[in-house]
Chains A and B, each alone.
Chain A
């Protein structure tokens, strides 16, 4: 197929060249955008997302919630490779956009990191959402009890600090041991990250709250 394209082009150009002599320029050729399938020389594109062991059973539980939007709306083939413990995604013939595959892969990846399906679905629907991950040791080197305390500070009592940050910045946060994942738009991720970093560095929750309040008020004013 790829070989055909240039040939057709050539023939057309030749034809157009022949016309040149007689009249004005020939009309520009119109090409349909390439389908996902046609890309990379018509070969099928794959994505494989490995499943961590602690997400295995939630995956089983929410499989249908994951499968349905991917297959129905994104038009991407999805399957679970039990042996390899991976989720595999593949483009179909009628996949409209090549970015769908990537979005689905991100969506599945987000689920694997620990986000809820309802939150991860936003990745499918909105373009500008990203997931940022960092570790506590990137911010400050903490050992033993200090690390545990830092994690506790981040979450707060019953997770209220985390929820407060989530609600204020319209993001979703997953704290997995010493790894932190933030899902949201670019600016919101930044704000959430700043709050989390200040918490790691030791500022009390009240201080973080007050700052969040200011920031969220400013954000709300914009609209």
Chain B
């Protein structure tokens, strides 16, 4: 009959031929492992009275939770085991009783194994393996494997407690035999421990256990490694076991002056098992690493680790570094210590823009477009509202005033009393002049445009009439110019009386003319300084 444990192990073995497979989580693998762990848990249940769980809850729980459940069961179990060990320490005679039983059980088991059919091969293998174990295998490894196998089986069993033992297989005998073997290998001290552990599992040992053992031992080193990996998965019990073994040291298992053969073989096994990539924290692995050197590599690593741990512990005890202390003022830290630390704080200021070629190019383009468009951001003056009429700015006249003071005050008085009759002020005259000019301009513009006929404004001024063709005055755009002149001949004539030409003149007229001239000249000369007159007279005399 195939127990769930066997099935699980079988499936596991089939799947995982190499440790790398375990790196990737697989559904079927995890399920098989979970089932196996559940059975193991159940098998241990009868031993621990305090555990709250009746069975290992798997559905819907993740690995961490399953671990916790196992741990919860195993903790009180461990304490009870320790008590048992102490008891045995005090009373060593009981151990021998135990041992005998175990051995007996073992022998019985061996006999039964030989005769059985189901696990014949396995039994044979087991025998062979056992022999091998005795001779070649690494002692602890074997023992541990067996232990683990037993643990597995004990957990997995659970339901089939009653049907484990039969006439052929006595668990006690098996136990004793195994203990004996181990005692031979390791020495008497170990025997005790193993005996205790074995004792606990006595009741639950199984053909299947054996089978497992055998299977395990049948397998190649890789399979054994697998099992170790499996056990690594199952974990909880292993660790509990480890705590017991945690105090084991290299020297306990191996003394330097061992036989070379065993050492070599052990080395070989070690090497193979090193490749399995097992957890360094496991005590088993620790011990496997073995070198011929005085201080093993592993030991060196351990020393380093230890020193590191000590350092860290020391650091933890010391007061914290100021950077870790929270709010720190300048007084609480060393001078200039803030400079060495890379501080991170918020900058409220935008960082200065990095001037690259692209930036300058973009700026220049912008400037060029702006210039071409003429779109400058000039400040434009806001237009002021002129609420008041512009005040008359009286210009200071720095010429001598033509009016007398009396006249000025007179005008002022008149303006006060009777503004209407007041003579125009200077500004009014200017206004008048300006309005006159504007009217003239408008007239001219209208005439040019010929749109509206506006007659000339009647200005009663004394204006000078120029002697211009009449039509020029009357027609603005004269098409023809008449010969008729504006002024009459007598108006043009500037002179007095009868005018005679040179030819017409009589002698008397000429004389008269000359006499007039002389008279005039004399009158003029009298006013001028007399120095020049003599010169003039001589000139005049020569003329006639």
Which A residues lie at the B interface, using CB under 8 A?
116, 118-119, 121-122, 125-126, 129, 156, 159-161, 163-164, 166-168, 170-172, 183-185, 209, 212-213, 216-217, 220, 223
**CB neighbours of B255 from chain A (8 A):** none
B325 at interface, CB cutoff 8 A: no
**CB neighbours of A212 from chain B (8 A):** 396
A180 CA / B476 CA spacing, docked (Å):
62
17 pairs, A vs B, C-beta closer than 8 Å:
A121-B405, A121-B406, A125-B406, A125-B410, A126-B406, A156-B398, A160-B399, A161-B398, A163-B399, A168-B396, A171-B405, A184-B405, A185-B409, A209-B396, A213-B394, A217-B394, A220-B394
A170 CA / B408 CA spacing, docked (Å):
7
**CB neighbours of B394 from chain A (8 A):** 213, 216-217, 220
CB of B406 within 8 A of CB of A119, answer yes
Contacts A125-B409, A125-B410 known; A159 to B400 CB distance under 8 Å? yes
**CB neighbours of A126 from chain B (8 A):** 406, 409
Which B residues lie at the A interface, using CB under 8 A?
391, 393-394, 396-401, 404-410, 412, 415-416
A125 CA / B408 CA spacing, docked (Å):
12
A168 to B, closest residue via Cβ:
B396
A217 CA / B393 CA spacing, docked (Å):
7
Within the complex, the shortest CB–CB distance from B397 to chain A, in Å, comes to: 5
Within the complex, the shortest CB–CB distance from B522 to chain A, in Å, comes to: 33
Chain A residues touching B, majority SS? helix
A216 CA / B407 CA spacing, docked (Å):
18
CB of A164 within 8 A of CB of B404, answer no
**CB neighbours of A209 from chain B (8 A):** 396
CB of A213 within 8 A of CB of B410, answer no
CB of A167 within 8 A of CB of B405, answer no
**CB neighbours of A184 from chain B (8 A):** 405
Within the complex, the shortest CB–CB distance from A54 to chain B, in Å, comes to: 20
A107 CA / B400 CA spacing, docked (Å):
21
CB of A167 within 8 A of CB of B406, answer no
**CB neighbours of B407 from chain A (8 A):** 118
**CB neighbours of B398 from chain A (8 A):** 156, 160-161, 163-164, 167
CB of B415 within 8 A of CB of A164, answer no
**CB neighbours of B391 from chain A (8 A):** 217
B406 to A, closest residue via Cβ:
A122
A212 CA / B410 CA spacing, docked (Å):
22
A166 CA / B416 CA spacing, docked (Å):
21
A172 CA / B407 CA spacing, docked (Å):
13
A129 CA / B404 CA spacing, docked (Å):
14
